[in-house]
Structure 1
Amino acid sequence: MKHQKVCDLMSDAVVRVQRGTPFKEIAHLLLEYDITAVPVVDEENRPVGVVSEADLLQKMWGQDLAGPPGHGDGPPSAGAKASATDAAGLMTSPALCAREDWSVVDAARVMARHGIKRLLVVDEGGRLIGVVSRSDLLRVFLRKDRAIRTEIIEEALVQSLGLAPSSLQVDVEHGHVVVSGRLPGEVAVSELEELCRRVDGVVAVEFSPAGEAGAEDPTTAGR
């Protein structure tokens, strides 16, 4: 099963700065473009870090977070960021990046693992080409039911399981998939359901054995 790629969903309009970009210019960019963070790139446009609103706010709270001299109660970088004047001193490094050929599942797993809202996207040479956010990934659930149904029939039933397109009835409504009919003995229900779940846009999957579903024409179901 083929998931959509990061390059299909990312935004290629990325505001970026370099290591020497001054503090005030970074603050201005965040406010002007209504963003919460900006990537820092080197001379070859490769991401080396990220400066966020929190990094800038160390100017106000950094010394307090660092605690009294000699105590080391706060983050070790708090004091340094509080005195930083450019992106090189303010940034959090290294930057978390996704490759343009990653699937949406790969990107979502990294975001969840690190508790972040977006990933920088780089090409094969490691150069910054875009950014993908949680909201971008959610767009896969806006796929039309007809497209989901077609992919389930062509990819799951025919290609993966070797079944005829009309061997099972597939209904899709608002991303909820109901497959009904009689499965051949060599195909497990769990296998069928897992293949359906791998289709982008599927919210839930249900299998109804023959005799429990209506006799709706499979050529019109899911419309």
Structure 2
Amino acid sequence: MTYARYTVNDVMTKNVIAITRDTEFKEIAACMKQWKVTAVPVIEGEGHVVGVVSEADLLPKEEFHGHRIGLIEQMYRPGDTAKAGAVRAEELMTSPAITVNPDVPLPQAARLMADQRVKRLPVVDADGNLKGIVSRADLLKIFLRSDDDLAAEIRHEVVDRLFPASHQNVKVSVTRGVATLTGRIHDATLIPVAARLAQSVEGVVNVDCRLESQASA
């Protein structure tokens, strides 16, 4: 059995609520409340993503409500003060949108979220058309894999391949996502490699590598 690498397509939400450039402020707020989301992609045409409106984009309306915006605020917070007077998605959205393709590996998507400091990413095809949305919570779904599934992948993808001559001497167990490798192998230099490869199996929380060299027996 060959274990495929998990990608954004495996965990993303495919039924996505989207709005258009002309969607008005109150409708956006109502949409977020109804569907319990904190951001919505803005699309045009056949679904081309042109931006994203998040709760953060809506908050300046409340922050500056009943408050006369001064020149200093306009100077130091031009984006927020402009959004305080916005009434449509086109004026509120962050554009261009930070997006990701369905075939991107999960670690890469996680790094993109961290680097860009966003909580979710619209998922688009090669033409930029909306196919889904992936959130931080979606990326964490990979840690719901069963212990048995994780142990089987570590056994097949790491132990059997790394130690073809002594794989039968290696025991793999996984408890609550923590993988433990025990046994004796021929080449001690491969022990840290085994630990690193086991840790790279998606869904593994941690690795306790107790492998020893047969030479030390």
State the TM-score, normalizing by the size of structure 2: 0.87
**In the alignment, does 2:78 pair up with 1:84?**
no
Q: Number of paired residues?
A: 210
Q: Secondary structure of the residue that 1:97 maps to in structure 2?
A: coil
Q: Is the 8 A contact 1:65 1:73 kept in 2?
A: no
Q: Within 1, Cα distance between the matches of 2:192 and 2:125? A: 37
Residue 183 (structure 1) shift: 2.3
Matches within 5 A, 1:96-115: 96-115=98-117
Check the 8 A contact 2:163/2:185 in 1, yes or no.
no
Would the alpha carbon gap of residues 103 and 53 (structure 1) be closer, same or farther in structure 2, given more than 3 Å must change?
Answer: same
C-alpha separation between the residues in 2 aligned to 1:136 and 1:51?
19
Instruction: Tell me how far apart the structure 1 counterparts of residues 171 and 42 of structure 2 sit (CA, whole Å).
Output: 51
CA distance in 1, matches of 2:84, 2:133: 27
**Stretches of 4+ aligned residues off by more than 6 angstroms:** 63-66
Contact 2:53–2:89 (CA under 8 A) maintained in structure 1: yes
Partner of 2:132 in structure 1?
130
Root-mean-square deviation (Å)? 2.4
- Name the CA distance, whole Å, in 1 between partners of 2:66 and 2:97: 26
Q: CA, structure 1 residues 88+157, in 2 after alignment: closer, same or farther (shift >3 Å)?
A: same
Contact 1:37 1:52 in 2 (8 A): yes
In 1: Cα distance, 2:209 partner to 2:4 partner: 22
Matched, 1:163 2:164: yes
Cα deviation code 1:111-158 (max 9, x no counterpart): 222222211111222211111111111111111111111111111123
Could you say which residue in structure 1 is the equivalent of 2:123? 121
Q: Which runs of 5+ in 1 are unaligned?
A: 212-223
Match of 1:163, SS state, is: coil
State the alpha-carbon separation in 1 of the partners of residues 129 and 209 from structure 2: 45
Q: CA deviation at 1:67?
A: 5.1
* Residues 39, 71 of structure 1: alpha-carbon distance in 2 compared, 3 angstrom cutoff: closer
Counterpart contact for 1:3–1:198, Cα < 8 Å: no
Deviations 1:174-198 (A, max 9, x none): 1111111122227422111010011
**Which of the pair is proportionally richer in helix?**
2
Cα shift readout 1:8-38 (whole Å, capped 9, x = no counterpart): 1111111101111122221221122122211
Partner of 2:43: 41
Name the aligned partner's letter for residue 46 of structure 1.
Answer: H
Matched residue, 1:176: 178
User: Shift of residue 199 of structure 1?
Assistant: 0.5
Superposed, which structure 2 residues align to 1:5-84 within 5 Å? 5-62=7-64, 68-69=70-71, 72-84=74-86
Alignment gaps of 5+ in structure 2? none
